[in-house]
Structure 1
Amino acid sequence: MDERSEIAACYRGVPQNDVGPRTDVLDGCPKAEGLLRLLRSMGPQVLATDEIGREEDVLAIEEAVHSGVTLLATAHGRNREELLTRPGLERMLKRKVFQRLVVLSRREGPGTVEGIFDAGGNRLKEGRVWGSWSAQR
């Protein structure tokens, strides 16, 4: 789901970015509406979208998760605590909707991986727990 052409960069319906050979892109449609359309009409194995956070986005994501679809999504924020100030994201994090949380920054250039966490907020590294969300700042 590419509401603002930021993922696939579609031009006249053709992705300009390589999103893979078996990828359908719904471009220029409101995110929540598009996620539900894709879920109902395409039978997807995976849905990907970015910048989730509005309540209607969260409801569409919850519908997809309850349908057994794997989800890849992004949300912008400085840290987990900031994300928890958004009611919909707080609900999803507390319900452990996501199996992994990847925190990225630009500290050492775009895409610097600051940490990978499990659904409970535990920092993962080589299969070991290195801390928890509650200890992170």
Structure 2
Amino acid sequence: MYIDRDIQCFDEAAAALGTGIASALLALPAKLKREAFEIRLRCGRPIAISCAEGQIFPCDGVDVSRAVLDEVFYNLCGHAVYSRESDIARGCITVGSGHRAGICGTAVVSGGTVTALRDISSVNLRIAKERMGCADECMRRLFANGLCGAVIAGSPCSGKTTILRDMAKALSEGRADGIRRRVAVVDEKGELAAVCGGIPCCDVGRCTDVLDGYPRAEGMLQAVRCLSPDVIICDEVGADEDVAAVRMCAGAGAVLIMSVHAGSVDDLARRPQLISLLHTGAFRRVALLCGRSAPSAVAGIYSSEQLLDGEVQLCG
């Protein structure tokens, strides 16, 4: 069902790197394009493609030069580095339909804070893929007793963002129960909706408002103040200010659905960020994803009460 779309996503991500590198990537076999979830460029090393089988070097023997990596960086910045300074300082740039480029280099530090990067040494472009319907199983198991606050937990590349994106559309369009809900997506990194010129490049539903580029905590509070959402969705929460905002939004009556990093069942009971979120009382269920070998697949559903009591038992 998704094969042609996967190739399209790969080609779009490759094109964002500029003609110098894109021509080699666009010529790769269709099978590798379908399976790829990252394109990795390291100065003085060959191009690497990350897929379920591991790291593939399709152009082994041809190393990425400094000139090519500089061209890639300027292309990712839209040839206006100054316009992406805050993103660069954070270490990532989002392009196209939500493809996220992680940037490595030498940090420029001022007052204990990274303010810029110089001497770019590597780029990791994570390919964003839309999976229409991928959230259906997760929603069925999470919301078996009705819509409730939920946390989607998983390791990197496990499909957290992909599920949240499809969940936003499903709740906005009433795909599961026929009820169209007002959904607010807080998209700090531009990965969930990939807004361009005020229009989401990713389909997050007709009843969805996107707060693009807002810091998570500020975006959540802005949504409650101005948008009267039924549901607030955001990615990768866990900072202290996020937890405080979650507590305030839950008190305003919004259902919160968010993601956190957790690679295993043991992580669910140990990660302080997750425990802090569960203590707010805003979340009743936690979905743990299988991992990069089966993106967006659900390994298990757990009760927040049991996790807080130190019990890790499946409940869905």
The TM-score bracket by the shorter chain reads: 0.7 to 0.9
Which of 56, 64, 69 is residue 249 of structure 2 equivalent to? Answer: 64
Q: For the aligned residues, what is the CA RMSD?
A: 1.8
State which structure, 1 or 2, has the greater radius of gyration over its C-alpha atoms: 2
Q: Which residue of 2 aligns with 1:55?
A: 240
Structure 1: 4+ residue segments shifted above 6 A: none
1:14 maps onto 2:199 in alignment: yes
Deviation of 1:82 after TM superposition, in Å, equals 3.3
Q: Which residue of 1 aligns with 2:187?
A: 2
Greater helix fraction, Structure 1 or Structure 2: 2
Superposed, 1:10-89 pairs within 5 Å as 10-79=195-264, 81-82=266-267, 84-86=270-272, 88-89=273-274
- Aligned AA (2:288): V
Q: Is the 8 A contact 1:97 1:119 kept in 2?
A: no
Q: 1:54 to 1:12 in 2, by over 3 A?
A: same
Q: Which residue of 2 aligns with 1:131?
A: none
- Aligned AA (2:271): T
Q: Is the 8 A contact 1:47 1:72 kept in 2?
A: yes
Kindly, what percent of the aligned residue pairs are identical? 36
Aligned residues: 124
- Aligned AA (1:112): A
Task: For structure 2, list consecutive stretches of 5 or more residues without a partner in the other structure.
Answer: 1-185, 307-312
Deviation of 1:93 after TM superposition, in Å, equals 2.1
| Cα deviations by residue, 1:106-129 (Å, 9 ceiling, x for unpaired) | 36421121101122234123xxxx
Provide the C-alpha distance between the structure 2 equivalents of 1:51 and 1:95, rounded to a whole number of angstroms: 16
| Cα deviations by residue, 1:26-68 (Å, 9 ceiling, x for unpaired) | 0011111111111111111110001001010111111111111
Which of 124, 133, 136 is residue 315 of structure 2 equivalent to? Answer: 124
1:100 maps onto 2:297 in alignment: no
The farther-off stretch of 6-15 and 73-82 is: 73-82
